[in-house]
Chain A
């Protein structure tokens, strides 16, 4: 009933074919949802929102001085991925992270990929997050990126494309877990016939990765002491930090709880100083250690970088991984896969133009009103020009910025993201979505089946970021 008025229109719809037929892997969910009245759906949607508020599953918006707490809007219609499709996505993600970790090792050591002229040197040397200080540094177990969040989208033909890699401190995994548990409580009947792969092993797998990557010097008989380092309770992702620490059973610490002596990191406990072996840090490189990086950082721990260098503590992710999620370096990831693995990329990039290449730059400047322009190092939907929807002033402002600093910009053809039935107060309508799976790299690479599906709740909008009117959905990977 709720689907009676539904129109896939001229988009790739996850649930319906262009002929308005329900795709096979959506049959079970479709039937269960059809048995629910609009009023019932509305009630459950309200109940789930109240439960998020009650659980404090919120993020803080600092538009006013107080910092208002909001829930991350949640839509009860789950996004479903078939087993075959997931198999391909999973292989693609493993391939990509394998190559990225090899790339990071290479550019912090021999830099063969530059010497072999696969990537022009100027791009790496000018990358904002390249940490020259860490040349020839051996990271524990050779893992640079332990936790990766890769943003995938689907184009008008339903092809999965990589939009960007998040290799520094990707966030959102807690929402993947909370969304699942919320939907199980609200719509238990949806799960019965579907056969959905669980996601709640994520914290245990993350802990395994942290312990695996203990420093080479670690000689304890017990497992290493891991902690989660948070910027603090005022950070907008604090809920996630506390959630993951609680799920893993490790302490959550702030910079002020740690102290470095003799190149070792200690936490200040009621029982005195206790050594820390592994830090899952949710603080960017720049803020980690005010004695090395930004001196004005109040969040970090003086001496931490030297303790890390001395091999007494591990950091996840390692320092300097940001060079690989620079949007200009992104352009070269398919070439890296070919170069290091000798394979063709399973998940292609979105076609990308580099403003620093003269030919591309001319094309970009001529077509600003048709392209999406992104700055190389911004995240969260900031520093972006959506050409087709932008005002003339915005376009001219970007033209000036690109001409002044071409290295800092890339451009892509706008992708008409796939759409998904989403509750809009009375019935379901199509809304654009993306997908952020979480990939963990320890002894081996593990992808949690599913991830966080973000949905642009505003009609027609392509921006899925929570700071700009985005919400999220539970994401199902089917067993069969």
Chain B
């Protein structure tokens, strides 16, 4: 009876596509976050290398003042100081690109993205996997010296291109199921986190020389911030004006339409949170979600002036905490089940077996 068995197979396929292991959701989420992080880091390094070219001759002290806040932004300053004596272009570039000890280096991010993809190799399209695998072999085949001598820009461009390619392929080859929601949620969360860190760098550079505000160096640095967020062109179209720091902050935090602004990312996160909680039977704790909604409300009400009077650094800190805590909450509710206690399971089943034999 071939028709019956065909119908059965169709149903089976349908049924099986609708369940997703919690572990798989977690891997898709981290795959997406790590790749987004790599893209942001690559742009950050590239822009800052180029920025230095505009300054002509710089002293060692200036170099250090330039690079250390960037290392600090990802929270890896202590590790950096353990590994290097001086912060200059070469040491920071190497640290942020090639050092496997640094969990946020490009090598680490791309390896982690690819390793997570490998764990769910059966769930993602071959094309998605191939891009990550390509990126991995690309970065393993490079080293600091060669990159340094043969043009860093081309190298970092290629990293960004892998990320863009991956996102495009994901959109065009991945079914719009739960998995897609976790990938997108991870991407926007990472992006929101990165934009707060990026703005914070400028805060750290700003502090010692507050009197320079509006000067040539200051403007160049704000330029760099915009470019690090791929936002310079979008900013110009929007304001048709010189780069003015308050406008830059306003644009990167509040713009509704630019896909890397904090608000845009938080709104997207909210959208995918809704979808994830809808499609899951797990009735998770809603308090973290309510709290994130409240933060989103605040974003809608605040103005850039409010932020400056609160303190930019303080606001960014707050945003980082909010973004991080909703991520943690969703991860523990939907993407991660605590491992079963294997020994307890073994005892449980052995006892069950004995009881059966006694009956």
Interface residues in chain A, defined as those with a beta carbon under 8 Å from any beta carbon in chain B: 53-56, 207-208, 211, 221-226, 228, 233, 238-239, 241-243, 245-246, 249-254, 256-257, 259-260, 267-272, 274, 289-291, 295, 298, 302-303, 306
A211 contacts which chain B residues (CB < 8 A)? 8-9, 12
Interface centre among A243, A290, A302 (most CB of B within 10 A): A302
B348 adjacent to chain A (CB < 8 Å)? yes
Q: Is B78 engaged at the interface, CB distance under 8 Å to the other chain?
A: no
Contacts of A303 in B (CB 8 A): 345, 348-349, 352
Q: Judge if B133 is at the interface, Cβ distance under 8 Å.
A: yes
Q: A270 touching B16 by the CB < 8 A rule? A: no
- The 0/1 profile, CB within 8 Å of A marked 1, for residues 309-335 of chain B is 000000000000000000000000011
Docked pose: A267 CA to B22 CA in angstroms? 9
Contact B21 A271 (CB under 8 A): no
Whether B345 contacts A222 by the Cβ 8 Å rule is: no
Bound complex: CA A242 to CA B119 (Å): 8
Tell me whether A306 and B349 are in contact in the complex, defined as CB-CB below 8 angstroms, given that A55-B133, A56-B121 are known contacts: yes
* Residues of the B chain whose Cβ atoms lie less than 8 Å from the Cβ of A241: 122
Contact B280–A270 (Cβ < 8 Å): yes
In the complex, the answer to whether B342 meets A270 with C-beta atoms within 8 Å is no
* A300: nearest chain-B partner, CB-CB: B342
List the A residue with the shortest CB-CB distance to B15: A222
At the interface, yes or no: B130 with Cβ under 8 Å from chain A?
A: yes
- Interfacial chain B residues near A222, Cβ < 8 Å: 8, 11-12, 14-15
Task: Judge if B154 is at the interface, Cβ distance under 8 Å.
Answer: no
CA distance A262 to B123 in the complex (A): 29
- On whether the beta carbons of A56 and B118 are closer than 8 Å, the reply is yes
In the complex, the chain B residue whose C-beta lies closest to that of A232 is B119
Among A223, A239, A256, which residue has its beta carbon within 8 angstroms of that of B12? A223
User: Which B residues, 107 to 139, have Cβ-Cβ distances below 8 Å to chain A?
Assistant: 115, 118-119, 121-123, 126, 129-130, 133-134, 137
Inter-chain pairs besides A238-B121, A243-B121, A271-B279, 12 sampled, C-beta below 8 Å:
A53-B133, A211-B9, A228-B122, A246-B122, A249-B16, A251-B16, A254-B23, A257-B23, A270-B19, A270-B279, A291-B346, A298-B342
B17 at the binding interface (Cβ < 8 Å): yes
Query: Which residues does chain B contribute within 8 Å of A225, judged by CB atoms?
Result: 12, 15-16
Q: Are B137 and A268 in contact (CB under 8 A)?
A: no
Give the distance to chain B from A301, nearest Cβ to Cβ, in Å.
Answer: 8
Neighbouring A residues of B133 by C-beta, 8 Å = 53-56
How far is the CB of A303 from the nearest CB of chain B, in Å? 4
Say how far A48's CB is from chain B's closest CB, in angstroms: 15
Majority DSSP secondary structure for residues of B touching A: helix
Please, which residue of chain B has its CB at the minimum distance from the CB of A272? B281
A-B contact pairs, 15 of them (CB 8 A): A54-B137, A55-B126, A55-B129, A56-B130, A208-B9, A211-B9, A239-B121, A246-B123, A249-B13, A268-B21, A270-B280, A274-B19, A290-B346, A291-B345, A303-B345
User: Among B12, B282, B346, B349, which residue has its beta carbon within 8 angstroms of that of A270?
Assistant: B282
CB distance from A216 to the nearest CB of B (A): 17
Whether A249 contacts B345 by the Cβ 8 Å rule is no
Q: Which of B8, B20, B130, B348 contacts A54 (CB 8 A)?
A: B130
Contact, CB under 8 Å: B118 / A295? no
B25 within 8 A of A: yes
Closest to B347 in A: A291
Residue of A nearest to B350 (CB): A291
Q: Across the interface, which residues of A come within 8 angstroms of B337, CB to CB?
A: 268
B122 touches A252 (CB 8 A): yes
Q: What is the bound-complex CA distance between A245 and B123, given in angstroms?
A: 9
Q: Which of B21, B119, B137 contacts A269 (CB 8 A)?
A: B21
Given contacts A56-B129, A306-B349, contact A267 B12 (CB under 8 A): no
**How distant is the Cα of A316 from the Cα of B220 in the complex, in angstroms?**
65
Contact A267-B15, Cβ < 8 Å, known A56-B133, A256-B339: no
Shortest Cβ gap from A299 to chain B (Å): 11
| Residues on the B chain within 8 Å of A238, using CB | 118, 121
Query: Given the complex, which residues of A lie within 8 Å of B342, measured CB to CB?
Result: 290, 298, 302
Contacting pair A242 B122 (CB below 8 A): yes
Query: A253 vs B342: C-alpha distance in the bound complex, in angstroms?
Result: 17
A119 to B345, CA, bound (A): 40
Contact B16 A250 (CB under 8 A): yes
B336 to chain A, nearest CB (A): 10
Contact present for A233 and B8 (CB under 8 Å): no
Residue among A254, A270, A274 with max Cβ neighbours from chain B (10 Å): A270
Question: How distant is A246 from chain B, measured CB to nearest CB, in Å?
Answer: 4
Q: A55-B133, A256-B339 are in contact. Are A268 and B22 (CB under 8 A)?
A: yes
Please determine whether B130 and A55 come into contact, CB atoms closer than 8 angstroms.
yes
Q: Is A270 in contact with B25, judged by CB distance below 8 angstroms?
A: yes
- Which residues on B sit within 8 Å (CB–CB) of A249? 13, 16-17
Say if the beta carbon of B353 comes within 8 Å of chain A.
yes
**Minimal beta-carbon separation of A190 from chain B (angstroms):** 24
The yes or no answer to B190 lying at the interface (CB within 8 A) is: no
A211 to B335, CA, bound (A): 29
Q: Is B178's CB within 8 Å of the partner chain A?
A: yes
Shortest Cβ gap from B31 to chain A (Å): 13
User: Complex formed: what's the CA distance from A43 to B11 in Å?
Assistant: 45
Q: Which residues of A contact B12 (CB under 8 A)?
A: 211, 222-226
Contact between B122 and A251 (Cβ–Cβ < 8 Å)?
Answer: yes
Q: For the complex, give the distance between the alpha carbons of A303 and B13 in Å.
A: 27
* Residue B340, interface by CB 8 Å: yes
- Give the chain B neighbours of A56 by CB distance below 8 A: 118, 121, 129-130, 133
- CA distance in complex: A233, B350 (Å): 29
Q: Report the Cα distance A184→B76, complex, angstroms.
A: 49
**Residues of B contacting A274 in the complex (Cβ-Cβ under 8 angstroms):** 19
Q: Indicate whether A271 sits within 8 Å of B281 (C-beta atoms), given known contacts A56-B133, A222-B15, A225-B16.
A: yes
Give CA–CA (A312, B126) in the complex, Å: 34
Q: Which of B137, B282, B337, B340 has the most CB of A within 10 A?
A: B340
User: Chain A: which residue is nearest B19 at the CB level?
Assistant: A269
CB distance from B120 to the nearest CB of A (A): 8
The chain A residue sitting closest to B337, CB to CB, is A268
In the docked arrangement, what's the CA distance between A239 and B339, Å? Answer: 24
A184 CB, nearest partner CB in chain B, Å: 15
Chain B residues lying within 8 Å of A54, measured Cβ to Cβ, are 130, 133-134, 137
**What 6 pairs across the A-B complex have the smallest Cβ distances?**
A223-B12, A242-B121, A302-B345, A303-B349, A245-B122, A246-B122
- In the bound assembly, the distance between CA atoms of A111 and B79 in angstroms comes to 67
Residues of A within 8 A of B121 (CB): 56, 238-239, 242-243, 246, 252
Assess whether B282 is in contact with A53, with CB atoms less than 8 Å apart. no
Give the complex CA separation of A55 and B178 in angstroms: 25
A241 to chain B, nearest CB (A): 8
Contact A302 B21 (CB under 8 A): no
Q: How far is the CB of B358 from chain A (nearest CB, A)?
A: 15
